[in-house]
């Protein structure tokens, strides 16, 4: 049906002129300035920034509390160092989550790699925390068993997430973060 109409339009100069004029002229339909689509997009944008800002706020509070606790507990130096490292790793994890969430909400693809890296960081934090408890504390038999189980689970999680990163790397489906 379209082909015969196009052939007629090409033969008639008057119809050709009208088609060219209609292609250049703005649409006769009025588009609403503030429709539901625009309101939903604005609400999503506000929520995106609220999530990112709240994650950054929490990371800032954790960092300040970590530094204050480190300098105020100077007498218990080994424990304060472990607590400071633990707090700094939490800040790194929160910043990675904020960066990943903001990037995900801005893009049309779901980035898998950053979440795997965040999981590895969280697993390493758990391993460091468990090993610090083993090193610095005298634990009862049940607490020792629970700490060793936590250490084993943390190692298992890190190994499986690293395998996931390896599979993602060799699959050729890398995320945009690999290029930047």
- Looking at the fold, whether 99 and 164 belong to one and the same domain comes out as no
Q: Residue 94 sits in which domain range? A: 32-106
Residues 6+ away with beta carbon under 8 Å from 3: none
Rounded CA-CA distance 45/42 in Å is 5
CB atoms < 10 A from the CB of 117, how many? 18
CB atoms < 10 A from the CB of 22, how many? 10
Give every residue of the chain whose pLDDT is below 70, as ranges.
1-34, 108-110, 174-180
Cα 79 to the center of its chain, rounded Å? 31
- The number of folded domains in the chain is 2
CA atoms within 13 A on the CB side of 102: 15
- Looking at the fold, whether 178 and 116 belong to one and the same domain comes out as yes
The answer to whether the beta carbons of residues 115 and 72 sit under 8 Å apart is: no
Nearest Cα neighbor of 79 from 167, 138, 3 is: 138
The answer to whether the beta carbons of residues 124 and 92 sit under 8 Å apart is: no
- Residue 57, pLDDT score: 95
- Residue 5, pLDDT score: 47
Rounded CA-CA distance 175/111 in Å is 6
- Looking at the fold, whether 120 and 143 belong to one and the same domain comes out as yes
Report the predicted TM-score, pTM, of the whole model to 2 decimal places: 0.63
CB atoms < 10 A from the CB of 54, how many? 12
The answer to whether the beta carbons of residues 123 and 154 sit under 8 Å apart is: yes
- Residue 3, pLDDT score: 47
- Residue 13, pLDDT score: 56
Which residue among 106, 140, 172 closes a domain?
A: 106
Q: Which residue has the tokens 């690293």?
A: 162
Residues 6+ away with beta carbon under 8 Å from 135: none
Residues 6+ away with beta carbon under 8 Å from 120: 158, 161, 162, 165
- Looking at the fold, whether 36 and 56 belong to one and the same domain comes out as yes
Which residue among 106, 124, 156 closes a domain?
A: 106
- Residue 103, pLDDT score: 78
- Residue 137, pLDDT score: 72
- Looking at the fold, whether 102 and 120 belong to one and the same domain comes out as no
Which residue among 106, 125, 142 closes a domain?
A: 106
Calculate the alpha carbon distances from 128 to 57, 139, 165 in Å. 25, 16, 21
Tokens of 58: 């929490």
């Amino acid at each position: 049906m379209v082909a015969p109409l196009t052939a007629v339009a090409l033969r008639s100069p008057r119809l050709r002129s009208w088609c060219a004029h209609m292609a250049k002229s703005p649409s006769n339909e009025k588009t609403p300035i503030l429709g539901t689509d625009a309101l939903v997009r604005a609400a999503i944008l506000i929520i995106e920034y609220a999530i990112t800002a709240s994650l950054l706020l929490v990371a800032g509070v954790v960092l300040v509390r970590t530094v204050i606790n480190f300098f105020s507990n100077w007498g218990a130096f080994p424990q304060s160092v472990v607590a400071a490292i633990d707090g700094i790793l939490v800040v790194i994890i929160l910043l990675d989550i904020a960066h990943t969430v903001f990037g995900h909400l801005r893009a049309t693809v779901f980035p898998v790699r950053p979440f795997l890296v965040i999981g590895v960081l969280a697993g390493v934090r758990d391993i460091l925390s468990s090993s610090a408890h083993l090193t610095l504390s005298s634990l009862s038999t049940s607490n020792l068993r629970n700490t060793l189980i936590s250490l084993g689970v943390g190692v298992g999680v890190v190994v499986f997430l690293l395998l996931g990163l390896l599979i993602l790397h060799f699959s050729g489906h890398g995320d945009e973060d690999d290029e930047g």
